[in-house]
Copies of this chain bind each other. A is one copy, B any other.
Amino acid sequence: MATGSRTVRPRSSVWLSERKAPKRKGDQQPVGLDHVKIVAATMRLLDAEGLSGFSMRRLAAELGVTAMSVYWYVETKDHLLELALDAAMGEIALPAEAVGPVESQEHSPAEPRDWREQLRQLAAEYRQVMVRHSWLPALLGEYLNIGPNAVGFSNAALAVMRNSGLPDDKITSALSLVYQFVYGFGTIEGRFAARCRAAGLTQDELFHETMSSVADRMEFDESRKIMKARGGNTVEEMRDRDFTFALDLAIAGIEALRDR
């Protein structure tokens, strides 16, 4: 996370300071740049080069513009990364039942889906976005994460968990178990996927390469044994099974402790 400012950092968030220059009053003709284009280019660059490959200067080059032009639209690099973060969170599809104000939920279909199904869907979406954008976990760990899309996601997660029947004072805890798990899982999975992309290897190839690089170390004997027991044909398959069953465990725990 060496991405922040170098000093003690006053640490304001984009979402806590008024936006810069989105007010193009009158009808001047818009020129090359704007917020949308900048954030899109930022995400493209982050996807391609990772967080450490991203710089304001690289971004400016990508946009065919001088290094400082971007600063007209964005206060700092940190603010820009927060915008990218929230844009990525916006890619998460929310279950229809869990979105919008309460009144609209009165009109929801007579057969609302099971909370467990909704939770699994939301967790899968969250996981996927972190694998697709492997820079996301680092930013999620770095910033306040109170952009509109992040808040929408949190509220959806909360709404779903409410349907579990868990008492109100246990909801934050259960949310924490599920989504911190997915966050951690997505972090390592995303990193692995990024390393594969960078090395031009499939997940299986990189996995076996990594395994063989520690083949002679007996401290790994226990891990190897248990990884073998886990079975599965491909790395992806093993990971999917781990993910699915871990969620099953969490759900089973919630159901078990729901009524004491």
Contacts and interface: CB of A to CB of B under 8 A. Distances in A.
Contacts of A223: 154-155, 158
A50 B8 CA distance: 9
A69 interface: no
A182 to B, nearest CB: 8
Interface in A5-47: 5-6, 8-9, 11, 16
A71 interface: no
A145 to B, nearest CB: 9
Given A214-B146, A253-B251, A177 B181 contact: yes
Contacts of A5: 52
A83 interface: no
A151 B184 contact: no
A135 B3 CA distance: 13
Given A172-B226, A174-B246, 14 more contacts: A1-B138, A2-B54, A5-B52, A154-B223, A155-B219, A155-B223, A168-B226, A173-B243, A176-B185, A180-B181, A182-B184, A248-B257, A250-B250, A252-B257
Closest A-B pairs by Cβ, 10 of them:
A180-B184, A253-B253, A168-B229, A249-B253, A177-B246, A2-B3, A173-B245, A183-B184, A252-B256, A252-B253
